[in-house]
């Protein structure tokens, strides 16, 4: 089984606000090998960590090993949904999705685990249901109240296409992203972020506070998806400074995703790239989820003519920037960025050139 990581071109921190996101599955993935047992025991092996854990189908509880909780959580949530897992199993997994880089390695593990169990036991679980199961596993077993984007992208990815997902009703549409003259390059700051222990949940609470305030004036509002940027500006005095800036960013970003998709339909990657810079400014200044390393990496690209757009990607507080770079200049771009990063922070910059691929799938035996 193969479960890809994901990138998100634009639309950050909009998913849990019922907005739009624009992710895609990438050619870096977590791979699974799974086999049934004849008892109720489940043995799991994390190849990249060289670590093992065992649990029983009769006792699906959180454990001290964070990585094992993703697998236990998916198993538990499937059973909660009424799917029958008749026996225990043995599973080994590992891959090349960089951990802590904002490429959703955890979502790939959860998505791949759900798909592997569905395939192994002939459960025929719909893809959307798998994404919802993976999301609940993250909520209940990893402690992160994340949106559904990461799992959805890993499961629904399509080659050379990005997915505009409406996080309010989970409808989606594919938009073309097949520009042979440009490549997507990720620059990994090397700053590790642990979202469950960060300000992620605080940002979510601040958005909810903004909705509660706006509901006093607009009773039909249920999330920031229902709010226009103009409404936020009109009620600036009613918010605390932080809540105002969070709401300003989110409502503007939701509108930006819609406009960016129009750019892709026209094949206007230049306009799309400019919106990526706008997103980064909002994430850094209004949503305050950047860091000095990410800001530096984006700032370095502004004067580079081979770069159409750049921004931090993922939850923030570290991880990668995503860059649209002219194909012929990719090697030169990586060299420039590596040298500049070393000079500024005395740290090695690891870059990844990624392609957009299909979502989770079964791999045939070689």
Active site residue 150: yes
Instruction: Return all residues near 90 (Cβ < 8 A) that are at least 6 apart.
Output: 34, 35, 37, 42, 43, 44, 45
CA distances from 308 to 227, 277, 322 (A): 30, 9, 11
- Both tokens of 361, joined, read 């799938």
- Which of 27, 48, 150, 295 is an active site residue? 150
Return the closest-CA partner of residue 200 out of 255, 239, 115, 143. Answer: 143
Three-class SS of residue 215?
helix
Strand partners, 89: 36, 42
Q: How many angstroms separate the CA atoms of 182 and 328, rounded? A: 8
Angle 338-343-344 (CA atoms, 0-180°, nearest 5)? 100
Q: How many angstroms separate the CA atoms of 264 and 244, rounded? A: 30
Return the closest-CA partner of residue 25 out of 147, 117, 150. Answer: 150
Alpha helices in the chain (DSSP H): 66-80, 105-120, 127-137, 149-156, 200-215, 229-234, 241-266, 269-281, 292-301, 330-345
Q: How many angstroms separate the CA atoms of 154 and 2, rounded? A: 10
Q: How many angstroms separate the CA atoms of 3 and 97, rounded? A: 10
Per-residue DSSP letter, 323: E
Three-class SS of residue 28?
strand
A 10 A CB-CB count for 197 gives 11
Q: How many angstroms separate the CA atoms of 337 and 334, rounded? A: 5
The catalytic residues are 150
């Amino acid at each position: 089984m193969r479960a890809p990581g994901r990138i998100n071109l634009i639309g950050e921190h909009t998913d849990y606000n019922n907005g739009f996101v624009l992710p895609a599955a990438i050619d870096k993935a977590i791979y699974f090998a799974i086999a049934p047992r004849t008892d109720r025991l489940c043995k799991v092996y994390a190849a990249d960590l060289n670590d093992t854990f065992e649990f029983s189908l009769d006792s699906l509880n959180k454990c001290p090993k964070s990585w094992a909780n993703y697998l236990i959580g998916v198993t538990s949530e499937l059973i909660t949904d009424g799917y029958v897992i008749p026996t225990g199993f043995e599973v080994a997994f590992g891959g090349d999705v960089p951990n802590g880089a904002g490429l959703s390695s955890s979502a790939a593990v959860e998505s791949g685990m759900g798909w592997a169990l569905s395939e192994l036991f002939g459960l025929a679980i719909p893809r959307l249901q798998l994404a919802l199961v993976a999301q609940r596993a993250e909520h209940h077993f990893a402690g992160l109240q994340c949106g559904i984007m990461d799992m959805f992208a890993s499961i629904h990815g399509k080659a050379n296409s990005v997915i505009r997902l409406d996080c309010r009703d989970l409808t989606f549409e594919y938009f073309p992203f097949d520009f042979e003259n440009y490549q997507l390059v990720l620059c990994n700051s090397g700053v590790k972020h642990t979202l469950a222990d960060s300000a992620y949940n605080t940002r979510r609470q601040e958005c909810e506070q903004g909705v509660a305030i706006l509901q006093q004036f607009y009773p039909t509002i249920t999330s920031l998806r229902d709010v226009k940027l103009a409404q936020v500006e009109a009620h600036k005095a009613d918010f605390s400074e932080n809540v105002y800036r969070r709401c300003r960013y989110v409502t503007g970003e939701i509108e930006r995703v819609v406009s960016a998709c129009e750019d892709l339909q026209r094949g206007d990657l230049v306009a799309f790239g400019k919106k990526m810079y706008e997103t980064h400014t909002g994430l850094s200044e209004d949503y305050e989820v950047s860091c000095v390393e990410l800001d530096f990496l984006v700032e370095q690209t502004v004067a580079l003519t081979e770069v159409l757009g750049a921004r931090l990607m993922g939850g923030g507080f570290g991880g990668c920037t995503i860059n649209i770079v002219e194909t012929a200049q990719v090697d030169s771009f990586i060299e420039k960025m590596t040298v500049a990063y070393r000079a500024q922070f005395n740290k090695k910059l690891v870059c990844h050139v990624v392609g957009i691929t299909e979502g989770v799938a079964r791999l045939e035996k070689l």
